[in-house]
A and B are shown apart, each in its own frame.
Chain A
């Protein structure tokens, strides 16, 4: 079977859940081979999720410069291995690396895929486009390698134990790829025990209607075990950090349950949440467009509705 390269990312030394999802998807279209830019990776985990090979790149260049050294090394590996596909997680860096590799390899490139399937004439991808209004299925031109950037949550990671051959790949990073120098890195304080926004089953988001006070949003999220999100209006006002923004220029979530509190439902926000399974809206304005999407809506002030709901959930648990 054809080899499918999977770019594996680590978080705090651990293989990320989206990377395990990629390995799971890769098994549908070929034999997964993991590519890692960190020699400290636990290769046993990769083998447990089906990797037949692990290609390790090591060297300070991959962290000292933005994107280009990784893209260059991957393109060289592609030229050497001639895989049928390359899967990466659809983050900003993942997409940049994938696009550059595809450019250099003459491959086809699809980003923000929500599914990867074997088709009659090669691999098919599924994307959700135009603010989630269309589901688009694409194929690759015959003979072109399939480079696919896949959104988190496209599938549930499942184990399929394999024996992986681990190989360290030598690559000399060119001077051209060392143009964008990283001069300082500062870790953002995590500090939250809530699930990751892009991966959470339940998301509670707040908008302009919070008036800047997210305490009721956070309290309700915590009783539900949910992640907290925010609209662009709330983020632009400085009420909540940008990494929690749901919408076109923030995160796209496809939650089992999405609760929008004090959010009117502008297209910019809908683009980030309308593929969620069940949608609940709380808003003072009965004409807010968010109610057109909602499976259940309450016309009222979130300041009253949410604390009462939090208490009701707590009472059920007791």
Chain B
């Protein structure tokens, strides 16, 4: 049986008005949180791989107690098990400390395939898969727009602006998928009911053999100097097209010397 771990993140809703706390960390109280939308594509790929073979999927998150919501969503979508790494010492961790926690948990779960979304919708760094792979000494097949599993070989298609690469690696492997992979499914009523019976394991840093001093805000290697809200854009001129909208538009552009 193959073991797939899908790493997911609980993020502040990207459609809400997000802001910062006084210590420079993201304000997670002011807006609702949810499973990062881009992680749904990773869950979808895991479910599709599972449909084709004997596979056990575990969703993994590192985050505050509320992050349980992200795991619940994964379970509702059909993921079989979930692990929540929760520890007060983790708060404020940067990408490096977070990657250490994820790598330790993934090692403990003995994953054959680790799936990530291409980036979180809050931090947007898109580097976690590469960091975790480097820590574990595993190959990283990142930014996949297509994933294919053939026995112990995983093949992906990686699109950039100028080239399309076909890349492959042998398991165990870390994969990250873009929003160009198949559209994520919605939870079904059956899935929602089944999820209620599924258990979420909660692990502390100690369970992972990690030292609290190695993570958290104090370990971060860059610090926030200032966070300034962008002044709202002043309302511009909006006119109704009465047959001369195009001409009026060009008149405006000429005042800005664009034409």
Contact = CB atoms under 8 A, between A and B. Distances in A.
Interface of A: 11, 66-68, 71, 91-93, 95-96, 98-100, 102-104, 106-112, 119, 124-125, 128-141, 144, 176, 179-188, 190, 202, 224, 242-243, 248-249, 256-257, 266-268, 271, 274-275, 278-282, 286, 291-301, 304-313, 316-317
Given A95-B126, A267-B14, A304-B241, A312 B246 contact: yes
A278 B256 contact: yes
Interface in B19-69: 19-20, 38
B222 A139 contact: yes
B interface SS class: mixed
B140 A68 contact: yes
Contacts, number: 256
Q: Which of B18, B140, B164 has the most CB of A within 10 A?
A: B140
A99 B131 contact: yes
B237 A296 contact: yes
Contact of A182 (B20, B165, B233): B165
Interface centre among A130, A134, A188, A286 (most CB of B within 10 A): A130
B246 A309 contact: yes
Interface in B225-255: 225-230, 233, 235-241, 243-250, 252-254
A230 B118 CA distance: 20
Interface in B112-161: 118-119, 121-122, 124-127, 130-131, 133-135, 137-143, 155, 158-161
Contacts of B201: none
Contacts of B95: 99, 109
Contacts of B256: 257, 278
A187 B163 contact: yes
A109 B222 contact: yes
Contact of B227 (A102, A136, A292): A136
B258 interface: yes
A103 B96 contact: yes
Given A99-B127, A298-B249, A304-B245, A180 B140 contact: yes
Contacts of A129: 124, 227
A202 B244 CA distance: 23
Interface residues of B, number: 82
A68 B254 contact: no
Contacts of B125: 95, 99, 111-112
Given A100-B134, A104-B134, A299-B240, A92 B126 contact: yes
Nearest to B223: A139
21 contacts: A66-B140, A66-B158, A96-B142, A99-B130, A111-B127, A125-B222, A133-B18, A134-B228, A136-B226, A136-B227, A138-B222, A141-B221, A190-B162, A248-B124, A257-B258, A267-B14, A305-B241, A305-B245, A306-B246, A309-B250, A313-B253
B166 interface: yes
Contact of B130 (A100, A130, A268, A312): A100
Contact of B178 (A98, A103, A249): A249
A183 to B, nearest CB: 5
A98 B253 CA distance: 40
